Structure 1
Protein backbone atom coordinates (compact mmCIF):
# COMPACT_ATOMS: atom_id res chain seq x y z
CA UNK A 1 0.00 0.00 0.00
CA UNK A 2 1.48 3.30 -1.00
CA UNK A 3 0.19 6.80 -0.81
CA UNK A 4 -0.99 8.78 -3.83
CA UNK A 5 2.44 10.25 -4.60
CA UNK A 6 3.53 7.39 -6.84
CA UNK A 7 1.92 6.11 -10.00
CA UNK A 8 0.87 2.48 -10.50
CA UNK A 9 3.57 1.87 -13.14
CA UNK A 10 6.29 3.38 -10.91
CA UNK A 11 5.22 1.15 -8.03
CA UNK A 12 5.14 -1.99 -10.17
CA UNK A 13 8.65 -1.32 -11.51
CA UNK A 14 9.94 -0.60 -8.01
CA UNK A 15 8.32 -3.76 -6.63
CA UNK A 16 10.02 -5.86 -9.30
CA UNK A 17 13.41 -4.47 -8.29
CA UNK A 18 12.72 -5.06 -4.59
CA UNK A 19 11.78 -8.75 -4.68
CA UNK A 20 13.06 -10.75 -1.68
CA UNK A 21 13.70 -7.52 0.28
CA UNK A 22 14.03 -7.04 4.01
CA UNK A 23 11.27 -4.72 5.27
CA UNK A 24 11.76 -2.56 8.35
CA UNK A 25 8.93 -0.64 10.02
CA UNK A 26 10.06 2.71 11.40
CA UNK A 27 8.31 5.53 13.23
CA UNK A 28 9.62 9.09 13.67
CA UNK A 29 12.12 9.34 16.52
CA UNK A 30 12.75 5.59 16.31
CA UNK A 31 15.68 4.02 18.03
CA UNK A 32 18.49 3.55 15.54
CA UNK A 33 18.98 -0.01 16.74
CA UNK A 34 15.95 -1.20 14.72
CA UNK A 35 17.38 0.21 11.50
CA UNK A 36 20.86 -1.12 12.29
CA UNK A 37 19.49 -4.65 12.76
CA UNK A 38 17.51 -4.43 9.51
CA UNK A 39 20.65 -3.25 7.69
CA UNK A 40 22.66 -6.11 9.19
CA UNK A 41 20.14 -8.71 7.99
CA UNK A 42 19.81 -7.11 4.55
CA UNK A 43 23.57 -7.45 4.18
CA UNK A 44 23.56 -11.05 5.45
CA UNK A 45 20.78 -11.99 3.04
CA UNK A 46 22.14 -9.96 0.13
CA UNK A 47 18.76 -8.27 -0.12
CA UNK A 48 17.51 -4.74 -0.72
CA UNK A 49 16.06 -2.90 2.28
CA UNK A 50 12.65 -1.25 2.31
CA UNK A 51 12.10 1.27 5.10
CA UNK A 52 8.37 1.71 5.74
CA UNK A 53 6.37 4.21 7.71
CA UNK A 54 2.66 3.59 8.17
CA UNK A 55 0.45 6.66 8.23
CA UNK A 56 -2.34 5.65 10.60
CA UNK A 57 -4.13 8.95 9.97
CA UNK A 58 -5.13 7.71 6.49
CA UNK A 59 -7.19 4.72 5.43
CA UNK A 60 -7.49 2.68 2.26
CA UNK A 61 -10.50 3.70 0.17
CA UNK A 62 -10.02 1.15 -2.63
CA UNK A 63 -7.38 -0.81 -4.46
CA UNK A 64 -7.06 -1.00 -8.24
CA UNK A 65 -6.76 -4.43 -9.89
CA UNK A 66 -3.05 -3.73 -10.50
CA UNK A 67 -2.50 -3.29 -6.75
CA UNK A 68 -2.37 0.52 -6.61
CA UNK A 69 -3.97 1.72 -3.39
CA UNK A 70 -6.01 4.90 -3.04
CA UNK A 71 -6.35 6.45 0.40
CA UNK A 72 -8.14 9.24 2.21
CA UNK A 73 -7.36 11.10 5.45
CA UNK A 74 -9.14 10.31 8.70
CA UNK A 75 -8.81 13.88 9.94
CA UNK A 76 -8.24 17.29 8.41
CA UNK A 77 -4.52 17.51 9.31
CA UNK A 78 -3.29 16.33 5.90
CA UNK A 79 0.36 17.18 6.54
CA UNK A 80 0.96 15.10 9.67
CA UNK A 81 1.68 11.85 7.81
CA UNK A 82 3.82 13.60 5.17
CA UNK A 83 5.97 15.27 7.84
CA UNK A 84 6.42 11.97 9.68
CA UNK A 85 7.41 10.22 6.45
CA UNK A 86 9.97 12.94 5.66
CA UNK A 87 11.46 12.52 9.14
CA UNK A 88 11.69 8.74 8.65
CA UNK A 89 13.30 9.18 5.21
CA UNK A 90 15.88 11.63 6.58
CA UNK A 91 16.78 9.37 9.51
CA UNK A 92 17.09 6.36 7.21
CA UNK A 93 19.24 8.28 4.74
CA UNK A 94 21.71 9.18 7.52
CA UNK A 95 22.27 5.50 8.23
CA UNK A 96 21.80 3.90 4.82
CA UNK A 97 23.17 6.27 2.17
CA UNK A 98 26.77 5.12 2.68
CA UNK A 99 25.89 1.52 3.57
CA UNK A 100 26.42 0.08 0.09
CA UNK A 101 23.01 -1.62 -0.03
CA UNK A 102 20.02 -0.84 -2.22
CA UNK A 103 17.29 0.78 -0.17
CA UNK A 104 14.12 2.76 -0.56
CA UNK A 105 11.49 4.28 1.70
CA UNK A 106 7.75 3.75 1.36
CA UNK A 107 4.81 5.26 3.14
CA UNK A 108 1.95 2.87 3.72
CA UNK A 109 -1.50 3.75 5.04
CA UNK A 110 -3.98 2.21 7.45
CA UNK A 111 -3.44 -0.54 9.98
CA UNK A 112 0.34 -1.05 10.41
CA UNK A 113 0.30 -4.86 10.62
CA UNK A 114 -1.99 -5.29 7.64
CA UNK A 115 -0.16 -2.70 5.52
CA UNK A 116 3.25 -4.25 6.21
CA UNK A 117 1.86 -7.73 5.60
CA UNK A 118 0.48 -6.70 2.21
CA UNK A 119 3.76 -5.06 1.15
CA UNK A 120 5.70 -8.14 2.29
CA UNK A 121 3.43 -10.26 0.11
CA UNK A 122 3.91 -7.98 -2.93
CA UNK A 123 7.70 -8.07 -2.53
CA UNK A 124 7.93 -11.69 -1.39
CA UNK A 125 9.99 -10.30 1.49
CA UNK A 126 12.52 -12.51 3.23
CA UNK A 127 12.22 -10.83 6.62
CA UNK A 128 10.22 -8.16 8.44
CA UNK A 129 11.96 -6.15 11.17
CA UNK A 130 10.07 -4.13 13.79
CA UNK A 131 10.90 -2.70 17.20
CA UNK A 132 9.11 -3.36 20.44
CA UNK A 133 7.01 -0.60 21.82
CA UNK A 134 8.27 1.70 24.51
CA UNK A 135 7.36 0.86 28.07
CA UNK A 136 4.89 3.07 29.88
CA UNK A 137 1.23 3.32 30.78
CA UNK A 138 0.31 5.29 27.65
CA UNK A 139 1.83 2.65 25.41
CA UNK A 140 0.16 -0.12 27.43
CA UNK A 141 -3.24 1.48 26.88
CA UNK A 142 -2.53 1.99 23.17
CA UNK A 143 -1.49 -1.67 22.79
CA UNK A 144 -4.60 -2.80 24.67
CA UNK A 145 -6.81 -1.09 22.08
CA UNK A 146 -4.74 -1.61 18.92
CA UNK A 147 -2.72 -4.72 19.72
CA UNK A 148 0.95 -5.35 19.16
CA UNK A 149 2.05 -4.86 15.55
CA UNK A 150 4.78 -7.49 16.02
CA UNK A 151 2.36 -10.04 17.47
CA UNK A 152 -0.22 -9.42 14.76
CA UNK A 153 2.45 -9.78 12.07
CA UNK A 154 3.74 -13.07 13.47
CA UNK A 155 0.24 -14.56 13.67
CA UNK A 156 -1.12 -13.36 10.33
CA UNK A 157 1.50 -14.30 7.75
CA UNK A 158 4.27 -16.86 7.15
CA UNK A 159 7.38 -14.67 6.95
CA UNK A 160 9.90 -14.41 9.73
CA UNK A 161 9.55 -11.34 11.93
CA UNK A 162 12.53 -10.00 13.85
CA UNK A 163 11.40 -8.02 16.89
CA UNK A 164 14.17 -5.73 18.15
CA UNK A 165 13.92 -4.89 21.85
CA UNK A 166 13.95 -1.18 22.64
CA UNK A 167 14.98 0.56 25.80
CA UNK A 168 16.19 -1.10 28.95
CA UNK A 169 15.25 -4.72 29.44
CA UNK A 170 13.04 -5.69 32.37
CA UNK A 171 14.93 -7.62 35.06
CA UNK A 172 13.74 -11.19 35.72
CA UNK A 173 12.99 -10.27 39.33
CA UNK A 174 10.42 -7.65 38.26
CA UNK A 175 6.96 -9.27 38.07
CA UNK A 176 5.18 -6.45 36.24
CA UNK A 177 6.59 -5.50 32.85
CA UNK A 178 4.87 -2.07 32.85
CA UNK A 179 4.76 -0.96 36.50
CA UNK A 180 4.01 2.72 35.79
Structure 2
Protein backbone atom coordinates (compact mmCIF):
# COMPACT_ATOMS: atom_id res chain seq x y z
CA UNK A 1 0.00 0.00 0.00
CA UNK A 2 1.33 3.44 -0.90
CA UNK A 3 0.80 6.33 1.46
CA UNK A 4 0.14 9.77 0.11
CA UNK A 5 2.83 12.34 1.03
CA UNK A 6 0.31 14.41 3.00
CA UNK A 7 -0.51 11.52 5.34
CA UNK A 8 2.89 9.89 5.76
CA UNK A 9 4.11 9.70 9.37
CA UNK A 10 6.48 12.57 10.06
CA UNK A 11 4.76 14.72 7.42
CA UNK A 12 1.51 15.72 9.15
CA UNK A 13 -1.20 17.60 7.32
CA UNK A 14 -1.29 21.22 8.50
CA UNK A 15 -4.62 22.64 9.56
CA UNK A 16 -5.33 25.84 7.64
CA UNK A 17 -9.08 26.40 7.94
CA UNK A 18 -10.87 27.81 10.99
CA UNK A 19 -12.11 25.70 13.88
CA UNK A 20 -15.89 25.45 13.99
CA UNK A 21 -17.47 25.11 17.43
CA UNK A 22 -21.14 24.41 18.05
CA UNK A 23 -22.58 26.77 20.67
CA UNK A 24 -25.94 27.07 22.38
CA UNK A 25 -27.50 28.98 25.29
CA UNK A 26 -26.73 27.44 28.67
CA UNK A 27 -23.83 25.42 27.30
CA UNK A 28 -20.98 24.63 29.64
CA UNK A 29 -18.19 27.19 29.18
CA UNK A 30 -15.58 24.45 28.82
CA UNK A 31 -16.61 23.76 25.20
CA UNK A 32 -15.78 27.26 23.94
CA UNK A 33 -12.76 27.42 26.27
CA UNK A 34 -11.22 24.25 24.80
CA UNK A 35 -12.03 25.31 21.23
CA UNK A 36 -10.45 28.74 21.84
CA UNK A 37 -7.33 27.17 23.36
CA UNK A 38 -6.94 24.89 20.37
CA UNK A 39 -7.58 27.70 17.85
CA UNK A 40 -5.06 29.95 19.58
CA UNK A 41 -2.38 27.26 19.79
CA UNK A 42 -2.88 26.40 16.10
CA UNK A 43 -3.02 30.04 15.03
CA UNK A 44 -6.46 29.57 13.48
CA UNK A 45 -9.66 31.61 13.68
CA UNK A 46 -12.61 30.29 15.65
CA UNK A 47 -16.13 30.26 14.24
CA UNK A 48 -18.88 29.85 16.84
CA UNK A 49 -21.97 28.34 15.22
CA UNK A 50 -25.44 28.60 16.74
CA UNK A 51 -27.88 26.17 15.13
CA UNK A 52 -31.51 27.24 15.43
CA UNK A 53 -33.55 24.03 15.42
CA UNK A 54 -36.82 25.97 15.32
CA UNK A 55 -36.22 26.98 11.71
CA UNK A 56 -35.41 25.06 8.55
CA UNK A 57 -33.24 26.10 5.61
CA UNK A 58 -35.50 27.22 2.76
CA UNK A 59 -32.98 26.75 -0.05
CA UNK A 60 -31.22 23.71 1.36
CA UNK A 61 -28.27 25.64 2.79
CA UNK A 62 -27.77 26.11 6.50
CA UNK A 63 -26.61 29.72 6.40
CA UNK A 64 -29.07 30.96 3.82
CA UNK A 65 -32.70 31.96 4.11
CA UNK A 66 -34.64 30.10 6.78
CA UNK A 67 -38.29 29.80 7.73
CA UNK A 68 -39.81 28.81 11.07
CA UNK A 69 -41.10 25.29 11.50
CA UNK A 70 -44.14 26.80 13.22
CA UNK A 71 -45.21 29.71 10.97
CA UNK A 72 -47.10 31.40 13.82
CA UNK A 73 -44.18 31.25 16.26
CA UNK A 74 -41.95 33.89 14.70
CA UNK A 75 -44.28 35.75 12.33
CA UNK A 76 -42.24 34.56 9.35
CA UNK A 77 -38.90 35.81 10.69
CA UNK A 78 -36.03 33.44 11.42
CA UNK A 79 -34.64 33.78 14.93
CA UNK A 80 -31.32 35.55 15.37
CA UNK A 81 -28.51 34.37 17.62
CA UNK A 82 -29.74 34.88 21.20
CA UNK A 83 -28.28 38.06 22.69
CA UNK A 84 -27.37 36.33 25.95
CA UNK A 85 -25.35 33.74 24.00
CA UNK A 86 -23.48 36.48 22.10
CA UNK A 87 -22.81 38.31 25.37
CA UNK A 88 -21.58 35.14 27.13
CA UNK A 89 -19.17 34.21 24.33
CA UNK A 90 -17.97 37.80 23.92
CA UNK A 91 -17.23 37.95 27.65
CA UNK A 92 -15.58 34.54 27.68
CA UNK A 93 -13.28 35.27 24.72
CA UNK A 94 -12.40 38.84 25.72
CA UNK A 95 -8.66 39.20 26.15
CA UNK A 96 -7.83 35.78 24.69
CA UNK A 97 -6.35 37.08 21.41
CA UNK A 98 -8.47 34.54 19.52
CA UNK A 99 -9.79 35.78 16.18
CA UNK A 100 -13.43 34.69 16.39
CA UNK A 101 -16.81 35.21 14.78
CA UNK A 102 -20.35 33.90 15.09
CA UNK A 103 -22.68 32.41 12.53
CA UNK A 104 -26.34 31.43 12.72
CA UNK A 105 -27.36 28.16 11.07
CA UNK A 106 -30.71 26.45 10.62
CA UNK A 107 -32.01 22.92 10.87
CA UNK A 108 -30.71 19.68 12.31
CA UNK A 109 -27.50 20.49 14.26
CA UNK A 110 -25.15 17.77 12.96
CA UNK A 111 -26.16 18.35 9.35
CA UNK A 112 -25.92 22.14 9.71
CA UNK A 113 -22.49 21.98 11.36
CA UNK A 114 -21.14 19.53 8.76
CA UNK A 115 -22.44 21.70 5.91
CA UNK A 116 -20.94 24.87 7.42
CA UNK A 117 -17.62 23.08 8.04
CA UNK A 118 -17.47 22.23 4.36
CA UNK A 119 -18.47 25.72 3.30
CA UNK A 120 -15.73 27.41 5.36
CA UNK A 121 -13.21 24.58 4.91
CA UNK A 122 -12.99 24.08 8.67
CA UNK A 123 -10.01 22.16 10.00
CA UNK A 124 -12.07 20.62 12.78
CA UNK A 125 -15.51 20.66 14.37
CA UNK A 126 -15.73 21.02 18.16
CA UNK A 127 -18.86 20.04 20.10
CA UNK A 128 -19.63 19.28 23.72
CA UNK A 129 -21.28 16.26 25.26
CA UNK A 130 -24.69 16.57 26.83
CA UNK A 131 -25.01 17.02 30.55
CA UNK A 132 -26.08 14.16 32.80
CA UNK A 133 -29.59 15.47 33.52
CA UNK A 134 -32.76 13.53 32.75
CA UNK A 135 -33.79 15.95 29.99
CA UNK A 136 -30.41 15.47 28.30
CA UNK A 137 -30.76 11.71 28.49
CA UNK A 138 -34.22 11.87 26.89
CA UNK A 139 -32.91 14.13 24.08
CA UNK A 140 -30.06 11.69 23.52
CA UNK A 141 -32.48 8.78 23.21
CA UNK A 142 -34.89 10.57 20.89
CA UNK A 143 -32.61 12.74 18.74
CA UNK A 144 -29.27 11.03 19.18
CA UNK A 145 -25.89 12.58 19.77
CA UNK A 146 -24.76 15.47 17.58
CA UNK A 147 -21.16 14.26 17.97
CA UNK A 148 -22.09 10.73 16.92
CA UNK A 149 -23.96 12.00 13.86
CA UNK A 150 -21.01 14.22 12.96
CA UNK A 151 -18.29 11.64 13.07
CA UNK A 152 -20.36 9.20 11.05
CA UNK A 153 -21.48 11.66 8.36
CA UNK A 154 -18.50 13.77 7.32
CA UNK A 155 -14.73 13.57 6.89
CA UNK A 156 -13.40 16.30 9.18
CA UNK A 157 -11.95 15.63 12.62
CA UNK A 158 -14.45 16.07 15.44
CA UNK A 159 -13.33 17.04 18.94
CA UNK A 160 -15.89 16.08 21.57
CA UNK A 161 -15.39 18.00 24.81
CA UNK A 162 -16.77 16.20 27.88
CA UNK A 163 -18.76 18.74 29.90
CA UNK A 164 -19.59 16.56 32.90
CA UNK A 165 -17.18 13.64 32.82
CA UNK A 166 -18.07 10.69 34.98
CA UNK A 167 -14.79 9.52 36.43
CA UNK A 168 -15.01 6.22 38.29
CA UNK A 169 -13.73 6.05 41.86
CA UNK A 170 -11.59 3.03 41.05
CA UNK A 171 -10.40 1.08 38.05
CA UNK A 172 -12.40 -2.05 38.82
CA UNK A 173 -14.76 -3.20 36.10
CA UNK A 174 -17.55 -4.71 38.20
TM-score (norm 2): 0.79
- Counterparts of 1:170 and 1:80, CA distance in 2: 41
Match of 2:109 in 1: 112
Task: Give CA deviations for 1:39-95 in whole Å, capped at 9, x if unaligned.
Answer: 01101211100011110000011148xx9622100123328943x532221111002
The answer on 1:44 being equivalent to 2:35 is no
- Counterparts of 1:80 and 1:131, CA distance in 2: 25
- Counterparts of 2:63 and 2:167, CA distance in 1: 42
The answer on 1:155 being equivalent to 2:155 is no
Q: Extract unaligned runs of 5+ from structure 1.
A: 1-18, 174-180
- Counterparts of 1:87 and 1:25, CA distance in 2: 16
The answer on 1:125 being equivalent to 2:111 is no
Partner of 2:130, secondary structure, is coil
- Counterparts of 1:165 and 1:47, CA distance in 2: 22
Larger radius of gyration: 2
Partner of 2:59, secondary structure, is strand
- Counterparts of 2:63 and 2:101, CA distance in 1: 18
TM-score (norm 1): 0.77
Please show how residues 7-18 of structure 1 align to structure 2 within 5 Å.
Answer: none
Task: Give CA deviations for 1:5-37 in whole Å, capped at 9, x if unaligned.
Answer: xxxxxxxxxxxxxx7000111110111111110
- Counterparts of 1:123 and 1:161, CA distance in 2: 15
State the 1:136 CA deviation: 2.5
Q: Which structure dedicates a bigger proportion of its chain to helix?
A: 1
For the aligned residue pairs, the C-alpha RMSD in angstroms reads: 2.3
Q: Extract unaligned runs of 5+ from structure 2.
A: 1-15
The answer on 1:74 being equivalent to 2:74 is no
